[in-house]
Structure 1
Amino acid sequence: MSEIQHLETKQGRRIAYAKSDGQGPTIVFLSGLKSDMEGTKAVALEAWAKEQGRAFLRFDYSGHGVSSGEFADGSIGDWHEDTLEVVDKLIDGPILAVGSSMGGWQSLLLSRARPERIMGLVTIAAAPDFTEDGYWAGFTDEQKAELEREGFLTLPSDYEEDYIITKRLIEDGRDQLVLRSPLRLDMPVRFLQGTEDDAVPTSQAVKLLEHVEGDDIRLTLVKGADHRFSDDECLRTIQKMVKVVLTRGAA
């Protein structure tokens, strides 16, 4: 694997990243909420990119992995700032963004902020607007009152530890929504979604497909795949879609 390096951002954060040289466009992996660049999908895609002689970059948002900061202090907007710093300071030329779960939301924000840089997009169980449509919409009146009173909620997780959901995460998320206004993606786009995903329902993937505008956008449903989307067959599917987007983007 590539050596871990660090980027000091203008916001004063220290972002850990691993970058490998190769033929462009640079493939950038955007991890999910509370995930990091050592996740199965990120590491496997890096290995594939190296085999293909492709430039690749993975990184940890602030409050994630080995980057500076605490998770509970962060927000969608903060992690979007981290992504822009990484893209603007570490990468020359076009980018193929690969976003998983919350990283799918980040990839859409990146495509909106830097449309001239993004030559292609692949998402895996993309979760745009989940702070509003998932968390807030699913909170009970009691939970909303607790969030207002305490400034945070603790939610159980199927992964390593519980989620601390802050009032700031919810409020900042409302400033980053992408499904409430037109979103045009003028590049090859491939959305991947498992039918057994219990975090992002298939209906959300269809909603995203129907919302975005563009001439080369496809949604692939993988029967039986869950939110991790990281068994061998799913990893091969991700690699296949990245290759498709690279080919179509170069046409």
Structure 2
Amino acid sequence: MSSDAIAPTHLPVLSAAGALVADLPVEGTTPIWLDAATVICAVGRAEPDGSGRRQDLVAVDVPGGMVRPLTAVAPGELLGEPTWHATGGLAATLSREDPATGEWVSTQLVVAPAAAVSATLAGGAPLTPASFADVAPGCTWPAGPDWSPDGTRIAFSASRPCATTQSDGTPVLQMDVAIVTPPVPAGGAPGPVEWVTDDTAGSYDDGLNDGSPAFSPDGVWLAWARGHEDDWTKIVVKQLGTTGTPTVLLGEEHWFRWGLDW
């Protein structure tokens, strides 16, 4: 093996005490628990003919390691950042690229009904992008979705133009945190997007971004990462429905913090 070879990724499973339960040879990312014996993660692959890449979601049995396809996307479609709720369903980000050039085309925050996910896991056909509904239309680069504990709301981040403009006159894009209420039943119109942070008035420093939101177990609080470009990142928390400045929970201006979970 050459010194520059890249080792294959794997999926370690630990107990709450940190003991190794299984080390599964699954090249997946952003794993989440669907139930006590099933993990959902994203698996990417390139097309053999070089026409583009795709990224699907798979279900992995724990500790056996059997991998079952959960979705089937086309070249240039990438599903990622899954978050699951037993009644809310499966939320994820769906990005599309030009298969020929690899250039980004769009990203949506999408949700598939819980019943559709259960049907696939019971032996039905994998979900396609048509199985998912866009629940935050008009949002740019939605990322980091997290279900509320009651399965009625999704927190996420998205890029928005702030009051500052670049030298060419175009607005500077900065990430804000928002909450949306998906339609129930699926297929209806989603609720309005509620922006938890808002830099459209230019009150933040340029380069300040908010993302990776996480609901508290009671759904009353929301934590997220607040960072300034490549300089620092803090973890802040705010009680939802209140006004005022978020509380800095963990400061010390660490270079990078992300992927929060309460």
Report the TM-score when normalising by structure 1. 0.31
More helix by share: 1
Report the TM-score when normalising by structure 2. 0.30
Instruction: Determine which structure has more spread, i.e. the larger CA radius of gyration.
Output: 2
